[in-house]
Amino acid sequence: MDELDKLLSHSFEEIKQNGDLIIKLLQLSQNFLNLSHTDCEKQHYSYYEKLKTIKNKNIIMTQKSYLDKKYILKPGKVLYYNHTHFNNDTLTDQIAANAIKKFPALVGAFLSERERAILEAKAKAHHDINEAEDSEKDFYNEAQIVFLIDAEKFDEARKLAAKLLVEETHEAAVKAINEGEEKVKAAAGEAEKKIAEAKKVEDEKAETKKPKVKRKAATKKKKNNAK
């Protein structure tokens, strides 16, 4: 990102007049967009605009590794086979295998086992760095979610949980929110049950007192009539 920021701090007019900046433009275009090196100035401008678009949209840029493929072209390499140009985006393992079988020398256009191992190590390191950065960003939101759960503000907690970047953290937060809400509902249910039971006891007591009240009223009426 720092290299991209530095490059895009220059206008294209400045870049096209500076050989080092042109080289940097081509390197970044290859790394982030898998675009081939070219001497065409119009293509250079197109690459520059594409890099600006990526930056302006705030896309998290990761260098494509293509590690899901068996055959990966070396940086800057394009395979020409059956009257078609292929790059790592369009090339399939089947096409690569067929091309190498027909033209064995083409194997030199692909990453060796050592180069692939280096790429795998870089991809893992990049993933670990991103995960660490995401965990740091999640730390504050996690604390806020705990506060919202304690305050029984579960809808707000869910909105904040949706912003968590690490999948495991998000899953744990959603689970804690659901469990907290269930506890509150269970507690409310128990409270309602106790209120209902207390009312029932009071009603039963009231029903038990009714005959006594009637007897007292009848006795009082009898005494008044005797007078």
User: What are 154-189's pLDDT values in tens digits?
Assistant: 999 888 888 887 788 888 889 999 998 998 888 888
Within a domain: 225: no
Q: Quick one: 128 and 210 in the same domain?
A: yes
Backbone angles phi and psi of 81, in degrees to 5 = -150, 135
Within a domain: 227: no
- Write the pLDDT tens digit of every residue in 8-29: 889 999 999 999 999 999 988 8
| pTM (predicted TM-score) | 0.36
Q: Quick one: 190 and 170 in the same domain?
A: yes
Q: Quick one: 47 and 78 in the same domain?
A: no
Structure tokens at 160: 């904040």
Q: Quick one: 129 and 185 in the same domain?
A: yes
Backbone angles phi and psi of 63, in degrees to 5 = -70, 130
Q: Quick one: 119 and 214 in the same domain?
A: yes
Q: Quick one: 97 and 8 in the same domain?
A: no
Residue 151 domain boundaries: 115-218
- Taking each helix axis as running N to C, give the angle between helix 154-161 and helix 167-226, from 0 to 180 degrees, rounded to the nearest 10: 170
Within a domain: 23: yes
Q: Quick one: 81 and 140 in the same domain?
A: no
Q: Quick one: 78 and 153 in the same domain?
A: no
The answer to whether the beta carbons of residues 163 and 145 sit under 8 Å apart is: no
Into how many domains does the chain fold?
3
Q: Quick one: 131 and 157 in the same domain?
A: yes
